[in-house]
Chain A
């Protein structure tokens, strides 16, 4: 793929050539369940004409002219609905941005690693009911051109492994826990050495044995300390999605709250474009899939709701600066407003002191999936947590769910640790999947916990 001669159909026109390569290997108890590779290539054009968008894509090379004209015809076909045009931003980025990866692992190397980890877990721990291992990687190469003069090459890549151990409890029911190793680049960029894996598995197994004896959490409003691993998903689900401008236009309560206090003054939250503290982040976006230069968006500053994330159209509608949040996942997807690297910024407290300051509450350590809402009422699953009694960690708790109004929860934050933990695993879902990263420190707050 490379840049092409570019048509200029419509008031605004963009053309994307997109290559997506993925692998997925799944091993359960030494049996290789999946050994898949996928290679998608496609071209797409999107045209804005008199208030409407037209989009066309093909997996066979069709060229900018043909796809651009089809997209224009699609935009024109909707003129029967009336409407008026909007003046879109004219900024266009030029540049080439990619992740410098270490040499990737072959499928043979990955399968050998999966076998070794399976045998390691089996030989190291008694009474395991099951060992599930997954290795996945993906590479996105995009060439983007548009009528605003953008000419961008973006490459984003990610590799990750899931290691899940299952045991049976006293009632012979399965109890499981998962550890993820993930990062930017290829498997060659991850520390998958046996010594590193052994250390992580030992920690995982220790928590799993605790969880085997776990008790139900007390349902209702509770004081919780979120480990740094969880603050990122709080940032993403609770206030990230409600600050996406398309959700704001769709009725999210944040639409009427810019400039208002929505969180404790200890809380500052940012969707970073590509770097934090001078270091490139896990999902670096220098220019988005509309060819817009990407900049950091401060969503909450010292507790005050400040900015929203935009694509070209919503930045015009709101009269805001462009932010570069328009991203498309697959070759036949149009760009949507998506987060990039969303985080709550660290404070000054120490995690140990935050736990020591809780008389009766919970320390929540690992999460599964989460979900946001227009009301800012969020939820995410909690797969590992412990009671806190009189400032000390107690018994493990069974799987539960943390939820509540993000605004109420963030307003209750009374301590933010000095840690900063980033991760990129799983996908954000919003019509299309998307690779994102999230980060944060430990937080202490009040929220609803599911339970007895």
Chain B
């Protein structure tokens, strides 16, 4: 692959481009699907892609195709030559310089028997422990992704990245009614003997079967929320979006000039997790992912622009990857729950994108009312309103327990001051 990538890079430069980046990716997936509590489908997919980025006189163009035959490659280069002339000139366009590495991570071959055994174990656990929970959809898969990335600035990277992945979604139904759907999932280095023991799958089913009988809150109030890890992911997604290209380049980020500022409670430390299962050792631009602490004891340490964004805004480039972990806190989940006078334990937030200033209102799903430290009834048709940036500052506690989803490693967060309606 590397020889082929270098040959295509040479062809790009010979066609008159000043700089170039070539990425060849081959992906093999073996996936077993469960639908409605029964194994339903086995998938085997093999795909490849060639992605090119080229710069000519400060103009940039990119293209991707799924064929690597010579005629296709030549046609893509011809199309790039045509299209690059329309691109505006921008000195910030550049390719990754001086990145080198060869990586082999994770299981390099699929064990289909283990996939089948894991699926069977999950189905058995469901029917024995949580018979009213229905698995609407579940995928257990092995992915092997082989990538070669070269640039005209002495970057040469290869990786062979294997991982198992699990996604499960379902809901419960009994004589009370149906629960909201719920889901969890993540990446694993190896499939365990009991799939329900990982990725919070057992906890998800245990909660779901208690959510068929739901009630609305009696009246509006302001209180605390305890966000479980799947809801915490929404918080992190908003934050990383605010310190990435789209928000920063349009001057619309609430953290535009906030590096060094306290933007969260001192208890919060958020770092990337490049060693997590299934995590790529380099990013799509061709930069090695380095360890990054984005929020250090509440203080914003850096922003996450792309290489282009960093050159455009003249701020440091921080290649961080896509996986994040929050350092464990000092409160047990039980004590955290016991400390809430009036609020909710929130499994999932169903909402539109928060406004650019962080304001949001969302429906809390898979959630339970907390009253005087007790988890009481499952909730329906309940919304919370607040501001995401303010929520980060209003974190009261972080749990000692951390759930591991492969890339993401997240605790529960207790946040004060949300309006319930």
| Interface check B297, CB cutoff 8 A | no
Residues of B within 8 A of A380 (CB): 352
Inter-chain contact B383/A448, CB cutoff 8 Å = yes
Closest 8 CB pairs of A and B: A381-B352, A450-B361, A250-B136, A219-B421, A108-B86, A74-B42, A173-B357, A130-B250
Distance, CA A166 to CA B350, complexed state (A) = 25
CB neighbours of A41 from chain B (8 A): 66-67
Q: How far is the CA of A331 from the CA of B47 in the complex (A)?
A: 9
Asked if A32 is at the interface of the complex by the 8 Å CB criterion, the answer is yes
- On whether the beta carbons of A57 and B86 are closer than 8 Å, the reply is no
Q: Which chain A residues have a beta carbon within 8 Å of chain B's beta carbons?
A: 28-42, 44, 52-60, 70-71, 74-75, 77-78, 80-81, 83, 106-108, 111-112, 115, 129-130, 132, 166, 169, 171, 173-176, 216, 219-220, 246-247, 249-253, 331-332, 334, 367-371, 373-375, 377, 379-383, 398-401, 403-405, 431, 448, 450-452
Given the complex of chains A and B, what is the CA–CA distance between A251 and B35 in angstroms? Answer: 11
Decide if B66 touches A173 in the complex (CB within 8 Å). Answer: no
B134 within 8 A of A: yes
Contact A219 B254 (CB under 8 A): no
Chain A nearest CB, measured from B367 CB (Å): 12
The 8 A CB mask of B243-259 against A (1 = contact, 0 = none) is: 00110011110100000
Q: How far is the CA of A219 from the CA of B221 in the complex (A)?
A: 11
Are B47 and A332 closer than 8 Å at their CB atoms? yes
Would you list 26 pairs from A and B whose C-beta atoms are within 8 A, ordered by A residue? A33-B249, A35-B87, A37-B62, A40-B49, A41-B67, A52-B41, A58-B47, A59-B49, A112-B86, A115-B88, A129-B251, A132-B246, A166-B251, A166-B252, A175-B355, A246-B35, A373-B350, A374-B180, A379-B351, A383-B352, A399-B354, A403-B383, A448-B421, A450-B361, A450-B383, A451-B385
Are A39 and B64 in contact, CB atoms less than 8 angstroms apart?
yes
Tell me if B172 is interfacial: C-beta within 8 Å of chain A: yes
Q: What chain A residues lie within 8 Å of B29 (beta carbons)?
A: 332
Further pairs besides A31-B312, A399-B361: 9, Cβ < 8 Å? A38-B64, A39-B63, A52-B40, A57-B45, A80-B116, A175-B356, A246-B137, A250-B136, A369-B352
**Counting CB contacts under 8 A, is B178 at the interface?**
yes
8 Å CB contact of B45 from A107, A252, A332, A448: A332
Give CA–CA (A399, B86) in the complex, Å: 37
Interface on B for A, CB 8 Å cutoff? 29, 32, 35-36, 38-49, 60-67, 79, 82-83, 85-88, 90, 92, 112, 116, 120, 134, 136-137, 170-173, 177-181, 220, 245-246, 249-252, 254, 308, 312, 350-357, 359-363, 365, 380-381, 383-385, 419, 421
| A18 CB → nearest B CB, Å | 10
CA distance A332 to B36 in the complex (A): 22
> Hey, which chain A residues are within 8 Å of B83, CB to CB?
35, 37, 106-108
* Partner of B63 from A37, A108, A173 at Cβ < 8 Å: A37
| Bound CA–CA A377/B179 (angstroms) | 10
Of the candidates A54, A59, A71, A431, the one whose C-beta lies within 8 Å of that of B46 is A59
Closest chain A residue, CB of each to CB of B139: A431
Contacts of B352 in A (CB 8 A): 367-370, 379-383, 399, 401
**Are A400's CB and B361's CB within 8 A?**
yes
| Bound complex: CA A403 to CA B35 (Å) | 28
Whether A35 contacts B62 by the Cβ 8 Å rule is yes
Q: Report which of A29, A107, A373, A450 forms a contact with B365, defined as CB distance below 8 A.
A: A373
Please, which residues of chain B bring their CB within 8 A of the CB of A400? 361
Chain A residues with Cβ below 8 Å from B385 are 216, 219, 450-452
Assembly CA distance A108 to B59 (angstroms)? 12
Contact B362 A379 (CB under 8 A): yes
User: Is B60 a contact partner of A250 (Cβ separation < 8 A)?
Assistant: no
Q: A40-B66, A377-B380 are in contact. Are A398 and B178 (CB under 8 A)?
A: no
Given known A-B contacts A401-B363, A448-B383, A450-B383, A334 and B43 have beta carbons under 8 A apart: yes
A438 to B71, CA, bound (A): 40
Q: Which of B41, B251, B383 contacts A401 (CB 8 A)?
A: B383
Q: How far is the CA of A367 from the CA of B32 in the complex (A)?
A: 36
